[in-house]
């Protein structure tokens, strides 16, 4: 199939990104049926909070994304247009996740980065849209951040497409 359709994977990736943006835009926050299970076995047990503790700690929008693996509507986060130098932290546990030096304008409507900070994230495969995607979470609290795609800029070629409500920005 690869020989007959060499660009099929790239075409499917672009269609999947478009579908994700459309669904998120039509329905607001897309909600997963279960609470988040940490993406990494190494997640910090100090952050193994009850559902009620997370609801108290987070805004309703952040809770839906971080703990229910939701997606915020595109072009709604102020962080999408953030241009200052600093660090993007997990909104759940304050772990530094991305440097502003790795941020770029992807045109998707969500803050996008080409590289996370070392050890900051953990990944798992997500089948919510039928086609598998790589989902990433905060490595400390397991909070859902977004998805990573192979259509980003050099040097990594990755696009870490992050929900703005899952982040907190701290200027340098």
Instruction: Order the strands of the 167-171 sheet from edge to edge.
Output: 96-99, 86-90, 167-171
Q: Please report, for the chain, the start and end positions of each structural domain, with discontinuous segments joined by +.
A: 8-171
* Three-class SS of 109-165: CCCEECCCCCCCEEEEEECCCCCCEEEEEECCCCCEEEEEECCCCCCCCCEEEECHH
Confidence of residue 48 (pLDDT cuts 50, 70, 90): confident
Residue pointed to by tokens 């909600």: 31
Helix (H, G, I), strand (E, B) or coil at 35: coil
Compute the distance between CA of residue 36 and CA of residue 144 in angstroms, rounded to an integer.
Answer: 7
Instruction: Please confirm, yes or no, whether 161 is among the known catalytic residues.
Output: yes
User: Is the pLDDT at 36 greater than 70, yes or no?
Assistant: no
Per-residue confidence (pLDDT) for residue 102, from 0 to 100:
98
Q: Which of 16-25, 39-48, 83-92, 150-159 has the lowest mean pLDDT?
A: 16-25
Confidence of residue 9 (pLDDT cuts 50, 70, 90): low
Q: What is the third-level CATH fold of 8-171? A: 2.170.150
């Amino acid at each position: 199939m690869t020989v007959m359709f060499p660009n099929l994977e790239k075409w499917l990736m672009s269609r999947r990104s478009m579908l994700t943006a459309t669904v998120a835009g039509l329905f607001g926050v897309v909600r997963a049926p279960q609470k988040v299970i940490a993406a990494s076995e190494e997640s910090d047990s100090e952050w193994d909070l009850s559902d009620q503790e997370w609801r108290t700690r987070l805004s309703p929008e952040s809770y839906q994304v971080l703990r229910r693996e939701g997606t915020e509507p595109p072009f709604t986060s102020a962080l999408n247009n953030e241009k200052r130098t600093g660090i993007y932290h997990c909104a759940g546990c304050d772990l530094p996740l991305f440097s502003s030096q790795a941020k770029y304008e992807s045109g998707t409507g969500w803050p996008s980065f080409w590289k996370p900070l070392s050890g900051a994230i953990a990944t798992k495969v997500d089948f919510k849209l039928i086609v598998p995607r790589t989902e990433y979470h905060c490595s400390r609290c397991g909070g859902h951040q977004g998805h990573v795609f192979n259509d980003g800029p050099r040097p990594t070629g990755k696009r870490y497409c992050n929900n703005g409500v899952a982040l907190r920005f701290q200027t340098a």
